Amino acid sequence: MGKTYDKMETASLDEIQAYQLDGLQKTVKHIYEHVPFYRSKLDDLGILPEDIHSLDDIQKLPFTYKQDLRDTYPFGMFAVPKKQVARIHASSGTTGKPVVSGYTQNDLDMWGRCCARAITAAGGSAADSIHISYGYGLFTGGLGLHEGARILGATCIPVSSGNTQRQVRILQDFGSDILACTPSYAAYIGETVRELGIDPHTLPLRAGIFGAEPWTEEMRHEIEELLDIKAYDIYGLTEVMGPGVSYECEEQHGMHVNEDYFFVEVIDPATGRQLPEGEQGELVFTSLRKEAFPIIRYRTRDLCRLSRRPCSCGRNFIRMEKPQGRTDDMLIIRGVNVFPSEVESVLMQFDNIAPVYQIIVDRVGALDTLEILIEMKEGFAFDVVRAVEAQERKITAALQSTLQISPKVRLVSPKTIKRSEGKAVRVIDNRKLYK
């Protein structure tokens, strides 16, 4: 059994649920009184805050969709006067208007506790240096983990993202114990360590906390090998809070949801009905203690399962598996559903290609095309054309048997696909179906 940050993590289910019900009742009252958007929705449904008697009653409440958050841009969902808002974050807004999230000082402390639990679960303590290479700014990654390191009392190294050689120098010179960034950036830092001729065994770094983009088990092994560390997953989203909504323990079998702060459901995305534990559906979160930007039944579009099975780490918080893919990320190519995570799983099984790839979807005439660019590893014996083509054919065959459609695989030179210092751009869809 590993260390936990606080007693709440190991509280009994009864205790957790009693605390959750209290939080739910207060949150519903809070939004009813302070957020006109929710008040009119509840009025339409004829529900009053007093109607919430049990956690099951959450099913009476309406869902919140990303579009609702865009429609109320920027501050329409805030439940406290602006002067009580201590900080504002926002999503990048690449797919539309950004989602704006506000935090009171209490909210920031709560967020910090969530992330402190995540750092502790990754084996960190107040004695460690936490090297944060998530971007600092409106993006929740950098400052979220920063709050965690602060609340934990650890030494925080706020490097932010970018300048990868300097990241490596700091890992060496400052002796960072735990690295926090996106998994794709961790792989890039690992590559750079190798390129600079540094043996990762000589670095004090022993663990990493990686999230903010989907990644596979295979990518985890790749990063663990590159940096000689243990890699932990962390989950979160700006709409709900930021990183730390759930986090992995040493068991690495699903992420524990911070249930004292968030109520999690899995629903059937078609009917909206709650699904029993263990069934796959869409993740839905309700905040239970947030003041500035409370959220009710937010539809994440992430597909996953929940499990209440006891965990060897001693935490009683429910576990969610690594989301299989965001429904938004799913590509429909020639009528077949393709998750980029499936592509990554297949690619990582090959040794002589790098963990860097790009998926390019296009439409020629009426036919969708799927092209996958993959970097060769340094030292690949490409002087024989047949060797390159044989490798491409092997990868194509493996992808075809998993995806059920045949991609065009192209090996490219090492270091030619642009590295990301934050969230990697893995998919380029040139079909422009919605324009």
Partner 1 sequence: METNKFIRQLTVFVENQPGRLADIIGILSEGEIDIRALSVADTTDFGILRLIVNHPNQAERELSAAGYTVNQTEVLGIGIDDQPGGLHVALEALKEANISVEYMYAFVSRKVGTAFVIIRVADNAAARELLQSKGVRILNGEEL
User: Quick check: 367 binds partner 1 (CB under 8 A)?
Assistant: no
Q: Which is nearer to partner 1, 119 or 417 (CB)?
A: 417
Taking Cα atoms as reference points, which of 41, 38, 59 lies closest to residue 266? 59
Q: Which residues ranging from 258 to 287 are in contact with partner 1 (CB under 8 A)? A: none
Sole window of 132-140, 194-202, 325-333, 405-413 interacting with partner 1 (rule: CB under 8 A): 405-413
Can you tell me the distance from the alpha carbon of 236 to that of 285, in angstroms, rounded to the nearest whole number? 10
- Binding partner 1 (rule: CB under 8 A), the pick from 381, 432, 433, 434 is 381
Give me the least distance between CB of 376 and partner 1, in Å please.
Answer: 7
- Binding partner 1 (rule: CB under 8 A), the pick from 270, 366, 385, 433 is 385
Cis? peptide before 310, omega within 30° of 0: no
Sole window of 154-162, 292-300, 406-414, 421-429 interacting with partner 1 (rule: CB under 8 A): 406-414
Token pair in block for residue 395: 């990868």
User: Quick check: 383 binds partner 1 (CB under 8 A)?
Assistant: yes
Instruction: Classify 153 as helix, strand or coil.
Output: coil
Number of C-beta neighbours around residue 126 at 10 A: 12
Alpha carbon 330 to its chain's center:
16
User: Quick check: 197 binds partner 1 (CB under 8 A)?
Assistant: no
- Binding partner 1 (rule: CB under 8 A), the pick from 6, 67, 196, 382 is 382
DSSP code of 210?
Answer: E
Which residues contact residue 26 at a Cβ distance below 8 angstroms, ignoring those fewer than 6 apart? 288, 289
Sole window of 36-44, 47-55, 185-193, 409-417 interacting with partner 1 (rule: CB under 8 A): 409-417
Query: What does R_g of the chain's alpha carbons equal in angstroms?
Result: 22
- Binding partner 1 (rule: CB under 8 A), the pick from 88, 170, 405, 412 is 412
Can you tell me the distance from the alpha carbon of 354 to that of 427, in angstroms, rounded to the nearest whole number? 17
- Binding partner 1 (rule: CB under 8 A), the pick from 3, 26, 206, 410 is 410
Taking Cα atoms as reference points, which of 304, 370, 305, 300 lies closest to residue 328? 300
Taking Cα atoms as reference points, which of 258, 326, 329, 262 lies closest to residue 290? 262
Taking Cα atoms as reference points, which of 140, 231, 143 lies closest to residue 185? 231
Give me the least distance between CB of 390 and partner 1, in Å please.
Answer: 12
Sole window of 85-93, 98-106, 146-154, 408-416 interacting with partner 1 (rule: CB under 8 A): 408-416
Give me the least distance between CB of 191 and partner 1, in Å please.
Answer: 15
Q: Which is nearer to partner 1, 114 or 361 (CB)?
A: 361
Can you tell me the distance from the alpha carbon of 286 to that of 225, in angstroms, rounded to the nearest whole number? 37
Contact (CB, 8 A) for 134 and 92: no
Give me the least distance between CB of 394 and partner 1, in Å please.
Answer: 16
- Binding partner 1 (rule: CB under 8 A), the pick from 411, 417, 421, 423 is 411
User: Quick check: 95 binds partner 1 (CB under 8 A)?
Assistant: no
DSSP code of 10?
Answer: G
Q: Which is nearer to partner 1, 75 or 382 (CB)?
A: 382
User: Quick check: 414 binds partner 1 (CB under 8 A)?
Assistant: yes
- Binding partner 1 (rule: CB under 8 A), the pick from 47, 55, 360, 388 is 388
For every residue of 76-125, DSSP letters joined together read TT--S-GGG--EEEE---TTSSPPEEEE-HHHHHHHHHHHHHHHHHTT--
Give me the least distance between CB of 167 and partner 1, in Å please.
Answer: 22
User: Quick check: 366 binds partner 1 (CB under 8 A)?
Assistant: no
DSSP code of 294?
Answer: -
**Count of residues that interact with partner 1, criterion CB under 8 A:** 18
Q: Which residues bind partner 1 (CB under 8 A)?
A: 376, 379-386, 388-389, 410-416
